[in-house]
Amino acid sequence: MQSNASTLTELLIRERPALLRLVRQILGSAGDSGADDVIQGVWFKVRGVGNEPVIGNPRAYLYRLASNLATDHGRERTRRLRLQAENHLWGADEVLSTEEQVMAQDELARVLAAAEHLPEPTRSMFRLNRLQGLTQPQVAQRMGVSVTTVENHLRLALQRLAWARSGT
């Protein structure tokens, strides 16, 4: 019997053109630039799928996965564009000195590095909640865990990021 991961990988190869069309449709006008990234994300997810339970409808699973990742990618792109549109973060009376800017950049680098080193699934839950804007119940549903589990993972993530931010 073939594993879930190998079944999904073979199906991904066969269905790639149709999946690209689906992803482009979800992403809209910017679909060309992000569709390949989403399909690559699907491939990474598919590689990690376990064998228990056996996936009853691999095609539906694959299309749902692509749809979810495309939606997440679109949300992330929208959030980035919104931040870019707000080309100033501080008012004229709140301009940071060069020293404060360097310290803030150093602090940001420490926090981003710490976020990248969070263990799974803490990192995924943190990204879904804090970067993509999903609520804790939505994250719980997407990850197949309880809301309490999500809360515990987010608490752990915030503690580690606060520690990284303090630089100690």
Residue pair 62/14 in contact by the 8 Å Cβ criterion: no
Would you identify the CATH topology of the domain 95-166?
Answer: Arc Repressor Mutant, subunit A (1.10.10)
pLDDT tens, residue by residue, 29-53:
765 678 888 999 899 888 888 888 8
Average pLDDT over residues 86-115: 73
Which listed CATH number (1.10.760, 1.10.1740, 1.10.3470, 1.10.150) goes with 4-85?
Answer: 1.10.1740
Distance CA 90, CA 78 (A): 21
Q: What is the pLDDT of residue 88?
A: 52
Q: Is the model more confident about 33 or about 8?
A: 8
Global pTM reads: 0.50
Q: What is the pLDDT of residue 110?
A: 84
